[in-house]
Structure 1
Amino acid sequence: MNDKELDTAFQKAVDSINEHTEPFPADVLLRLYAYYKRATSDTDSARSSKPLISAFKTNALFQTQGMTTREAKLKYIEAVNTYFLYRK
């Protein structure tokens, strides 16, 4: 998959998550959060008004430390596809 195809597939996965109206399990949300932040190089906003949520977000980001943008996009797409596959 070239970079343009990856970007298209990533955006499609992001859109499918944003359009989904049912609640997500917390572990899925945290994984998607961390992959998205790594994929978009936006890792500065793990803050929340609730310290426990901030800690979970920070931990999720820590677990993706060293992951490239490309790897994070691929992992995000994989996680989205897996989530929707098992919901059927």
Structure 2
Amino acid sequence: MTAKDLNTRFEEAVAMADEMSQASLPQDVQLRLYAYYKQATFGTLDPSKTSTYHLRDAFKTNAWMQISHLSSDEAKELYIEAILALANKK
């Protein structure tokens, strides 16, 4: 599989996610998707550039840090899998 194929599939998964209602997703799923997306699009989090003054931001930062060992491509694959699994449940 080429990088273009992965990027195309990732963009399609992001479009599918945009159509989903956040209210219908448990918070742990939302955090996991957020972390995969951030890792896929921005790479590994630099903790020195984060602010954890708000509890919500702290949870998001923690979720991202937990998967910081993943490459961008691995995060894209996991994001795609998670979105497709959610879409198939409906």
Select the structure that is richer in helix: 2
Task: Deviation per CA, 1:34-54: give whole Å up to 9, x if none.
Answer: 000010016468657x72111
Q: Which amino acid aligns with 1:78?
A: E
> 1:68–1:22: structure 2 CA closer, same or farther, 3 Å change rule?
closer
> 1:67–1:22: structure 2 CA closer, same or farther, 3 Å change rule?
closer
Give the TM-score normalised by the residue count of structure 1: 0.83
Deviation at 1:74, TM superposition (A): 0.3
> In percent, how many aligned pairs have the same letter?
44
| Structure 1 unaligned spans of 5+ | none
Match of 1:18 in 2: 18
| Structure 2 unaligned spans of 5+ | none
Match of 1:38 in 2: 39
Equivalent of residue 80 in structure 1, options 79, 83, 88: 83
**For 1:66, what is the secondary structure of its paired residue?**
coil
Give the TM-score normalised by the residue count of structure 2: 0.82
> 1:29–1:47: structure 2 CA closer, same or farther, 3 Å change rule?
farther
Q: Which amino acid aligns with 2:32?
A: R
Cα RMSD for the two superposed structures? 2.1
